[in-house]
Structure 1
């Protein structure tokens, strides 16, 4: 029977002869003999059988190879080997384990161990899987614990940084407060020292300066405006007092001028050590007309000479040719006017 399957690669199939061909072609020894001078290859009738055999072997080989590959890809199947009976060989079973001397009753609560190589391998794989799961869980727990520890460490570090920042702010605030208090104390101390120095200076000057007269009344101040004065305003300070009231040197100095001076009447000019000039005007008389005098010394008498409306001492203070307020000048020397 002819096969419809394709021939394996490398195998050449020959067509089988038909029935007519089998009847017509019956070679003999003579007809099968090759002609002289030529080499002829005689076709054998068994070629199809040999080809079929080769084809079958190839198919079997291919199937076997695929089966082996399939078997390799399939998971292993546990095969249990039954225990062999004890034939009196020292009490060992077919699985190589010793039988218990006490009989089956002693083995009632015992756990049957897996037997067979594949079963033992499966049990070993199960134990390895359980160990792997345990390790994974342990690793996950360790990682979770590490994460918790890191979170706590970060929280503690943040709390420490916040506490450090707050402590720094408190230190800076305390330092600023201390600096402000120190500056205020220094300022107060400086002001107190200056006030004390001024008091001491005024007290010292009070011993060096004197009021120009006594029993007086201030009637006109420096800068008062009016037509009575040629300049249009008052250039001195008027001490109204009875005629003959002593006029005194306000400080130590020398007399540079003494005599009649027009609208000022009788006038004495006292020059102090710093160049300040003190004018005594409208005097009724002059006691000292030259030389040096000391503070509080009488140099003349109050009068009403010159352009006046009544007896008084017209006192002027001049420095560098310009007038200044006599009241302010006297007070600056520690005198209470």
Structure 2
């Protein structure tokens, strides 16, 4: 037997049922959000005693939902990540460029320092070489006494029967036998050997064109054609030839021949030698 219900309006649902249905719809919205759609719903207010319709309107039909798909979010996140990566790359490039610039600056500073150091060393070396050349030039142009620490024992043009010309053509320096005799300046040996009354003698053509002679030597240390410098040993003092005892006979001449003698003391003094 079938049961039948009286015709007429259905009774309005209770408030509890309405809230339950709303909660279910909200849960559905949340479920949609979890499945890829985020929605927001603004529901119209209703009075507690107002009768609600038997069914809620469909969410898509209200026009109040704003959905953002996960693809859009992913695009935005990706764009932000790309922007950050680009910024990081640019920062790294700037840091690398700065490091290279600093390294290049250091390298250039080191090159400048090395160039300055090399220039100074070169200048110092050149200055030293110039000083040495100048010192050598002065030395070669200098004159000195033929016997160090000695003195003139017989003056120039002193008279007496010992000299064939009747007077002394040079000066005598006091010197024991074997005393070192040196060239008074730079020049070239033009005579080295026996010289008659001069005994063993050396004649040097000086670089200034004058001549010097060293007589009565016991030993010779140079030969003809040899170049000599100031202070270079040319022999040892003795008493060979026409001599009364060991000493050095020294002459200064304007030419190579006998008779062109000049005052040896004045000659040496004119070249800076103190006697």
Instruction: With the length of structure 2 as denominator, give the TM-score of the two structures.
Output: 0.47
Which structure ranks higher in relative contact order (CA pairs < 8 Å, sequence separation ≥ 6)? Answer: 2
| Higher radius of gyration, 1 or 2 | 1
- Select the structure that is richer in helix: 1
TM-score (structure 1 length as normaliser): 0.38
